[in-house]
Amino acid sequence: MFCEEIQVRSSRRIELIDITSKVQNLVSISGIKEGVCLLYVPHTTAAITVNENADPSVVMDIIEKLSQLVPEGARYRHTEGNADSHIKSTLVGCSTMIPIKDGRLALGTWQGVFFCEFDGPRSRRVLVRVF
């Protein structure tokens, strides 16, 4: 098993950051040709997802729709001002697994890996396990 971390710095409150190349780099370094890459975000107001990275309007649509579904500043019991961020993180999820084939992430043609920031800007990390 190969264990590493990716450092991510967000610049906006809500942002999806394409980390595909960083994840692939770690898979390559691991030397593992066939297996699985586990990605885990140890933050309660952030998430990880796989989605289209060819058309930036997809990311904009995801952010817009999540913000409509779970608006900032609504009447929440959690009073720190980031209750919406916790809910968005729960909806998207804090982990994902991607198969590895021939030393590469087995992503579809248009797929990429996104770190999802819902309470930025912040410095964050993604735990990467390749096995």
CA distances from 89 to 16, 49, 111 (A): 12, 10, 20
The per-residue pLDDT for 117 is 98
Task: Please give the tally of structural domains in the chain.
Answer: 1
The per-residue pLDDT for 75 is 94
Burial class (CB in 10 A: 0-12, 13-18, 19+), 17: buried
Residues of the domain holding 29:
2-130
Specify the CATH number for the domain of residue 45.
Answer: 2.60.120.460
Tokens at residue 58, please?
């997809």
pLDDT by 10s per residue, the chain, length 131 = 999 999 999 999 999 999 999 999 999 999 999 999 999 999 999 999 999 999 999 999 999 999 999 999 999 999 999 999 999 999 999 999 999 999 999 999 999 999 999 999 999 999 999 99
The per-residue pLDDT for 32 is 98
The per-residue pLDDT for 103 is 98
